[in-house]
Amino acid sequence: QVQVVQSGGGLVQPGGSLTLSCAASGNIFSIPIMGWYRQAPGKQRELVASITNSGSTRYADSVKGRFTISRDNARNTVYLQMNVLKPEDTAVYYCKMAVRQGVNGQPYDYWGQGTQVTVSS
């Protein structure tokens, strides 16, 4: 089994910064892709950023230049540094880990529990 646990989040003023963390543990061979998603009230869940195990990154247009995704492969952990936060960034943020549990296994998606980020004055 694999467990995915998030930390971070909370309330911040516009223009402020927050860092989210997400760590996977359990039966893990590798994690080819780690990512962050968010879901605002009344909206669909959307990709915020993703990073491969070789360090290639992808960002939603709305966060480019403000958010930075990074990973620590030794700790099976992904981070999301969020700067210059805007009210429209308010959402529940989820991490997703595509976990391979064996050398020949197909990756399977595991989600974190979600964490609220609220940007408000």
Q: Are 48 and 66 in contact (CB under 8 A)?
A: no
Element (H, E) at 69: strand 67-72
How do residues 73-106 score in pLDDT, each as one tens digit?
A: 999 999 999 999 999 999 999 999 999 998 888 9
Q: Quick one: 107 exposed, middle or buried, by C-beta within 10 A (0-12, 13-18, 19+)?
A: middle
How do residues 2-53 score in pLDDT, each as one tens digit?
A: 999 999 999 999 999 999 999 999 999 999 999 999 999 999 999 999 999 9
Task: Output the pLDDT for position 60.
Answer: 98
Position of tokens 């909370």? 10
C-alpha–C-alpha distance, residues 77 and 70, integer Å: 9
